[in-house]
């Protein structure tokens, strides 16, 4: 432990600052999230507007992560091209420096304790008073975050009693370039360049670190915040990879150039611009390296975007279809047969999704090796997986509708209609389960034994249903399968009625309250409807197969 260093005050200052930033981000996003999205979407006609939009939105929201998520959604939806997205990223890096300027120019020159606590007190009272007014409530959250920022900064500023001496000598022992990777690692861990700059400004204020070392940490921090998106893009769709890797490469090149220019930039700030204040100089340095990044990449954003598109242009990643994508290499095969195979592919994956949403697959013990494989291959959340099933349905429908109608007989047209109906039934089944996933999670975590028991019964019953359904799916070409499907439908209805009866009895016996009973009834209905949709899809499949069988 360093003498005169208040460790826990230092940790508390960092935690307070991080929490304050998250409050400000959340409140501003809720206050004007749609406004920012529309602004960002509209200002992408050219590179200059895109950079300006990225700068403005990030400066206001103070979160490059939120801006990157917006960009990613726009690129994925086709509302923004990759070149404009990269321009927004450049502007976003510049926008993050705004809070650095506020901290450097105000945070160490004004006693914010004199105003932070009154703001905090009034805002906490406001939370109690404005819960029913969303705008005023979010405004009070913003003010709380604003107060916390300067309270945390005050703690950081005063966590050293003896700022000079051995600490300064310790830092002087190492070459300043060693602090570039330190800045990268530290920022990659905390995922906030704003926190890094706040700590560095506090260190400079207390004479704890040479200026060039602080500048080197700033350089490394520019790359540190990109790591989260880079990791999350592994195995993702090409658009996600392109934006994430584009962001990483932009900041990597910036870091390399800035590392080489640390001394020239310091000389420029001190000798040419004549800024002597250390805190202002550091923020000016941070702003300067982001301006350099814009200057370097602005002329080559177009070619850079094309390079990323070539690097991440895996056809198997672009299309989530299994059979339709191969049609060009096998044009002799019946296109409706290909659509049927793709529909079966959709059904099998939807069954897995439903079972995951229901918690059926969660009890499987896959071991340490299996966990590593799952970690390396499970790139999509349940929500993303559901969306991909909808995209697959759309691709099947588009493929069928692109078949020239003059090439199809009346029987084939009916067959095409049944295939489309099957995809609708399947997606409706997934939607039913997706909509109650949060209820199932609540039942799973409930301290009420009846709710937990209901959750376990649902898993058991549905596991049996899906096992039986998959057997029938494999036998769909058999003549007897239709009767078996009817039996499954009857069984599904009986289970639904039994669940309703048990829920009503539990309510009468005061084992659950009215809200719990409403949630349970809704869950049972959605599960029943989901199963019915799958059975309807199965019956349509049986009808298609039986007609082909009788030809």
- pLDDT tens, position by position, 178-232: 889 888 888 887 767 777 888 888 788 777 788 888 899 999 988 887 877 777 6
Angle in degrees, CA 87, 91, 94, rounded to 5:
150
Sign of the alpha-carbon dihedral angle for 355, 359, 363, 366: positive
Nearest-CA neighbor of 101 among 286, 331, 307? 286
Task: State how far Cα 192 lies from the chain centre.
Answer: 16
Burial category of 34 from C-beta neighbours within 10 Å (exposed 0-12, middle 13-18, buried 19 and up): exposed
Contacts of 79 (CB under 8 A, 6+ apart): 41
Kindly state the tokens that stand for 514: 């009215």
**Distance, CA of 199 to CA of 400 (rounded, Å):** 59
Q: Give the burial string for 461-495 (b: 16+ CB within 10 Å, else e).
A: bbbebbebbeebbebbeeeebbebbeebbeebeeb
Q: At what angle do helices 7-42 and 47-61 cross, to 10 degrees?
A: 140
Residues in the chain: 551
Q: What is the spatial distance between Cα 410 and Cα 397, in angstroms, rounded to a whole number?
A: 18
CA distance 345 to 388: 13
- For residue 36, the model assigns a pLDDT of 62
Tokens representing residue 149 in the block: 């920022």
Q: Distance between CA atoms of 352 and 386, rounded to whole angstroms? A: 11
Contact (CB, 8 A) for 149 and 115: no
> For residues 505 and 499, what is the distance between their CA atoms, to the nearest angstrom?
10
Between CA 540 and CA 145 the distance in angstroms is: 57
Q: Alpha-carbon distance 323 to 494, whole Å?
A: 38
Give the model's pLDDT for residue 107. 66
Chain Cα centroid distance, residue 225: 15
The angle at the Cα of 345, spanning 339 to 350, to the nearest 5 degrees, equals 125
Distance from C-alpha of 104 to C-alpha of 61, rounded to nearest angstrom:
19
Residue from 212, 215, 296, 283 nearest 252 by CA: 296
pTM: 0.57
Cα 307 to Cα 246: distance, rounded to the nearest angstrom: 10
Q: C-alpha angle with apex 442: 438 to 448, nearest 5 degrees?
A: 160
How high is the pLDDT of residue 365?
Answer: 46
Tell how many helices (H) and how many strands (E) occur in the chain. Answer: 25, 0
pLDDT value at position 326? 53
What was the pLDDT predicted at 163?
Answer: 47
Q: Which of these, 430, 443, 416, lies nearest to 540 by C-alpha position?
A: 416
Residue found under tokens 């005169």: 4
528 close to 461: Cβ distance less than 8 angstroms = no
Three-class DSSP category at 160:
strand
Cα Rg of the chain, angstroms: 30
Q: Residue 435: what pLDDT?
A: 93
Residues of the chain with pLDDT under 50: 1, 162-168, 315-318, 328-330, 363-380, 549-551
Which of 125, 129, 150 minimizes the C-alpha distance to 21? 150
Helices of type H across 379-513: 382-401, 410-435, 437-445, 449-474, 481-508
| Model pLDDT, residue 334 | 79
In the structure encoding, which two tokens stand for residue 73, read together? 């959604």
DSSP 81-108: -HHHHHHHHHHHHHHTTHHHHHIIIIIT
CA 115 to chain centroid, in Å, comes to 36
Place of tokens 């966990």: 371
> The tokens 């260190």 sit on which residue?
203
Burial of 411 (0-12, 13-18, 19+ CB in 10 A): exposed
Instruction: Please give the DSSP secondary-structure letter assigned to residue 178.
Output: G
Burial code of 116-145, b = ≥16 C-beta within 10 A, e = fewer? beebbeebeebeeebeeeeeebbbbbbbbb
CA distance 60 to 523: 41
What angle (nearest 5°) sits at the alpha carbon of residue 134, between those of residues 128 and 135? 105
Give me the residues paired with residue 5 across strands: 160
Is the Cβ–Cβ distance between 85 and 67 less than 8 Å? Answer: no
At residue 41, the pLDDT reads: 64
Q: What is the pLDDT at residue 164?
A: 42
pLDDT at residue number 120: 81
């Amino acid at each position: 432990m360093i003498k005169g260093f208040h460790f826990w005050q230092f940790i508390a200052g960092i935690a307070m600052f991080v929490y304050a930033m998250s409050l400000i981000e959340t409140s501003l996003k809720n206050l004007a999230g749609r406004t920012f999205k529309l602004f960002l979407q509209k200002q992408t006609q050219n590179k200059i507007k895109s950079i300006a939009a990225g700068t403005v939105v990030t400066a206001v929201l103070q979160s490059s992560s939120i801006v990157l998520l917006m960009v990613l959604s726009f690129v994925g939806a086709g509302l923004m091209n990759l070149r404009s997205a990269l321009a927004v990223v450049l502007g976003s890096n510049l926008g993050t420096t705004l809070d650095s300027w506020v901290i450097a120019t105000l945070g160490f020159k004004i006693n914010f304790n004199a105003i932070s606590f009154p703001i905090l007190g009034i805002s906490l009272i406001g939370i109690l008073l404005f819960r029913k007014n969303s705008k005023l409530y979010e405004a009070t959250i913003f003010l709380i975050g604003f107060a916390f920022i300067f309270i945390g900064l005050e703690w950081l500023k005063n966590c050293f009693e003896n700022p000079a001496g051995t600490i300064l000598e310790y830092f002087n022992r190492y070459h300043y370039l060693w602090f570039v990777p330190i800045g990268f690692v530290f920022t990659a861990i905390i995922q906030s360049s704003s926190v890094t700059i706040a700590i560095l400004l506090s260190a400079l204020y207390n004479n704890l670190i040479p200026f060039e070392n602080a500048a080197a940490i700033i350089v490394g921090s520019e790359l540190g915040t990109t790591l989260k998106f880079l990791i999350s893009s592994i195995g993702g769709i090409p658009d996600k990879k392109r934006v994430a890797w584009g962001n990483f490469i932009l900041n990597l090149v910036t870091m390399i150039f800035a590392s080489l220019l640390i001394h020239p930039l310091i000389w420029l700030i001190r000798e040419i611009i004549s800024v002597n204040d250390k805190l202002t100089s550091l923020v000016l340095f941070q702003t300067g390296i982001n301006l350099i990044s814009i200057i370097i990449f602005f002329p080559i954003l177009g070619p850079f975007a094309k390079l990323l598109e070539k690097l991440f242009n895996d056809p198997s990643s672009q299309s989530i279809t299994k059979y339709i994508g191969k049609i060009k290499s096998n044009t002799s095969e019946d296109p409706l047969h290909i659509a049927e195979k793709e529909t079966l592919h959709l059904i099998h994956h939807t069954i897995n999704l439903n079972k995951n949403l229901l918690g059926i697959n969660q009890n499987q013990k896959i071991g340490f090796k299996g966990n590593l494989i799952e970690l390396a291959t499970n790139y999509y959340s349940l929500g993303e997986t559901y969306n991909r099933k909808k995209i697959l349905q759309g691709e099947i429908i588009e493929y069928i509708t692109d078949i020239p109608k003059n090439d199809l007989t009346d029987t084939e047209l009916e067959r095409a209609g049944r295939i489309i109906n099957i995809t609708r039934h399947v997606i409706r089944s997934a939607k039913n389960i997706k909509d109650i996933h949060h209820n199932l999670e609540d039942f799973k975590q409930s301290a009420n034994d009846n709710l937990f028991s209901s959750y376990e019964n649902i898993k058991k019953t549905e596991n049996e249903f899906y096992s039986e359904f998959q057997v029938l799916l494999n036998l769909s070409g058999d003549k007897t399968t239709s009767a078996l499907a009817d039996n499954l439908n009857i069984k599904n209805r009986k289970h639904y009625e039994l669940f309703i009866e048990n829920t009503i009895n539990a309510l009468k016996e005061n084992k659950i309250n009215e809200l719990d009973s409403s949630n349970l009834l809704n869950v049972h209905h959605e599960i029943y409807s989901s199963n019915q949709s799958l059975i309807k899809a199965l019956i349509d499949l049986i009808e298609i197969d039986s007609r082909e069988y009788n030809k």
